[in-house]
Amino acid sequence: MTNALNLRAGAMSTPRSDALYERACRVIPGGVSSPVRAFRAVGGTPLFMERGAGARIFDADGREYLDLVCSWGPLIAGHAHPAVVAAISGALARGTTFGAPCAAEVELAERVTAAYPAAEQVRFVSSGTEAVMSAIRVARAFTSRDLIVKFAGCYHGHADHLLVAAGSGLATFGKPSSAGVPEAFTACTRVLALDDEAALRTLFARDGARIAAVIIEPLPANHGLLPQRREFLAAIRELTSRHGALLIFDEVISGFRLARGGAAEVLGIRPDMATFGKVIGGGMPVGAFGGARRVMARLAPDGDTYQAGTLSGNPVAMAAGLATLDSRSSRSSVASPAAMATGLPERVPA
């Protein structure tokens, strides 16, 4: 098995991956379908993968690796878990998508709402970005307010109004962090530093009546792992409740990973809405957003807030999600992922 540390600075010969990357660069911007895959931060040529099995992944040159990334989160059961593969195969044999409701989406929704009490109802989408975008739209409709508050260091997908960089002030007006995003799109976004309770209180004292929602990763994990003090998250909960704003937990990464009920369960804090992805799709393109029934009632067709998706709730993705959650349930006697990860750096050979 190849030591991943030897990948740096082109220390390893990867002719097949190199050739594929050269071809990809001619037809795909940057040669990749998501920027983080381009290896720009670590150097070298991206590795092209051919298959995975359990905790192992195999590249186009036949090398085997211990995979600590697992597709950036969805594969909590590992690559090609037999139960997940069987569920996907069974669903495929019955049809890939119907453009109509299916039983599997009801079953997965029941599973999510049972595990996450704050989500009394959920709506399935096809990505975490779409889940967050939709949750914010619903929050704005429910509160009849425009302002959204996010935190520097938290990532909520690539929707225009969330691609915002922090400025120099304590509570800055959003400035686009990507080309192609007009400042008008981020004008209703405010950015705060994580764990700055004073700035949070100052912002609410000034703009509390205009704030629709505060969105935060309860365990930020896109700029390294940034555990937050429970007291800070509790302060957000208290301030949003007092001012009539909604609290949205972005649990795309932490949901069904930290615990069955995500970070909300571990922290003992109940948000008004939450977003999910990754684990609930078991490697298929799935996202979801949920919340209190009174909030979700604003969604069409019952309410006046539009959201739709051709492949939302498709039977193949729902089957993968159900099988993945089943695999987690069947491991109830096994230590949690957090417990299993304790001391892992010391056990990995250099």
Mean pLDDT, rounded, for 226-243: 97
- Distance CA(84)–CA(102), nearest Å, equals 18
pLDDT tens by residue, 131-158: 999 999 999 999 999 999 999 989 898 8
Task: For the full predicted model, state whether its pTM sits above 0.85.
Answer: yes
Q: Which of 18, 155, 160, 196 is catalytic?
A: 155
Same topology between domain 4-69 and domain 82-329: no
- Decide if 116 is catalytic: no
User: The CATH number of 82-329 is which of 3.40.50.12780, 3.40.640.10, 1.10.3720.10, 2.170.260.10?
Assistant: 3.40.640.10
Q: Which of 18, 59, 61, 250 is catalytic?
A: 250
Cβ 318 vs Cβ 300: under 8 Å: no
- Decide if 278 is catalytic: yes
Task: Look at residue 215 in the predicted model and tell me its pLDDT.
Answer: 97
User: The CATH number of 4-69 is which of 3.40.50.150, 3.30.300.30, 3.40.50.300, 3.90.1150.10?
Assistant: 3.90.1150.10
Q: Which of 67, 278, 306, 326 is catalytic?
A: 278
- Distance CA(226)–CA(214), nearest Å, equals 18
Where exactly are the structural domains of the chain? 4-69, 82-329
- Distance CA(276)–CA(90), nearest Å, equals 24
pLDDT tens by residue, 106-125: 999 999 999 999 999 999 99
